[in-house]
Copies of this chain bind each other. A is one copy, B any other.
Amino acid sequence: MIELRHLRTLLALRETGSLVEAAERVHLTQSALSHQLKDLESRVDSPLFMRKTRPVEFTRAGLRLLALADEVLPEVRKAERDLARMAGTEMGRLHMAIECHSCFQWLMPTVDYFRDHWPEVEIDIPSGHHFDPLPALAREQLDLVITADPQPIEGVHYAPLFRYEGLLAVARQHPLAGQSFVTPEALADETLITYPVEQSRLDVFSQFLTPANVRPREIRTAELTIMMMQLVASGRGVCALPNWALSEYLERDYVSAVKLGEQGVWSTLYAAVREETLEAPWMQDFLRTARETSFAVLNGIKPATRDAESVA
């Protein structure tokens, strides 16, 4: 007999494209999923997907089950929400900090959805605190932190939201504009514009410049993405930002973007959550919504080169 567990696994598998990542999503090991899916295939008596492609490719039977999952799981979630509300579950609290300055784009729709569906959870994004968000999370001053560098802290779980690529924004007439990628060395003569945070926190440094032992000629900071874009557009510097933060400016041909290195610089955005709160149904719903919304928003704005799977 098919169980919801199976449908949840399949959905995670489609969203992540691999057993390894799907396993992380559903809080199981890769081995567990391998067994589970093998078992499911024997129950259903057909193979469900091809494992030798990246991302995995579903068979007709697999697609049929995914269709079922798409139909059924949202209903199940609704019911769970209703039930949680009926149980008069203790009013939850969701105070969050956003380390990544350009997340509001997809975070706001998520928060809106959430406010509608979980009116009894107090949601807030306290602005301008001067403490480190992650320790504040552990101290229970915050309940969720959106961050790109997970630091192991006792009792804190990092739920991956999505992967993204860091790109270098340059003026349209900048010599680098045409290139397929830049080398770290090419930045030695540039002014780099960053958010005003520690360099170790910035992917350009930790993943690109520092390993190559290169320092840009000058570093300027700016608080807002739009200010950075103005500086870049007017040729007063270059800056590294996530593909999705940039795409709105790229579409308007306001600036150009170049890959950082041949492979590009990729990282993952996480939601850091205390382990106890992770289990709460509203938290699960928030994470799910965040992933779905960011996926939709990020694909809606079509980051130039990347396809759906690799961003999700």
A interface list, Cβ under 8 A from B: 1-5, 44-46, 60-61, 64-65, 67-68, 71-72, 75-76, 79-80, 82-84, 86-87, 89
Contacts and interface: CB of A to CB of B under 8 A. Distances in A.
Given A72-B72, A75-B68, A75-B71, A2 B86 contact: no
B2 A79 contact: yes
Contacts of A86: 46, 60-61, 64
**Shortest 7 CB-CB distances between A and B: which pairs?**
A45-B87, A68-B79, A46-B87, A44-B83, A72-B72, A61-B86, A3-B4
A77 B84 CA distance: 27
9 contacts: A1-B4, A2-B80, A3-B4, A45-B84, A45-B87, A46-B86, A64-B79, A67-B79, A68-B76
Contacts of A67: 79
Copies of this protein in the complex: 2
A76 B72 contact: yes
**Chain A: interface secondary structure?**
helix
Nearest to A82: B64
A87 B4 contact: no
B5 A76 contact: no
A38 to B, nearest CB: 15
Contacts of A80: 2
Nearest to A1: B4
Nearest to A84: B45
A1 B79 CA distance: 11
A67 B60 CA distance: 29
Given A68-B75, A68-B76, A46 B83 contact: yes
Contact of A72 (B60, B75, B82): B75
A107 B60 CA distance: 34
Contacts of A71: 75
Contacts of A45: 83-84, 87, 89
A310 B83 CA distance: 29
Contacts of A82: 64
Nearest to A59: B86
Contact of A4 (B2, B61, B75, B89): B2
Contact of A65 (B44, B46, B79): B79
Nearest to A86: B61
A257 to B, nearest CB: 42
Contacts of A89: 45
Contacts of A65: 79, 83
Contacts of A75: 68, 71-72
A196 B83 CA distance: 56
A281 to B, nearest CB: 10
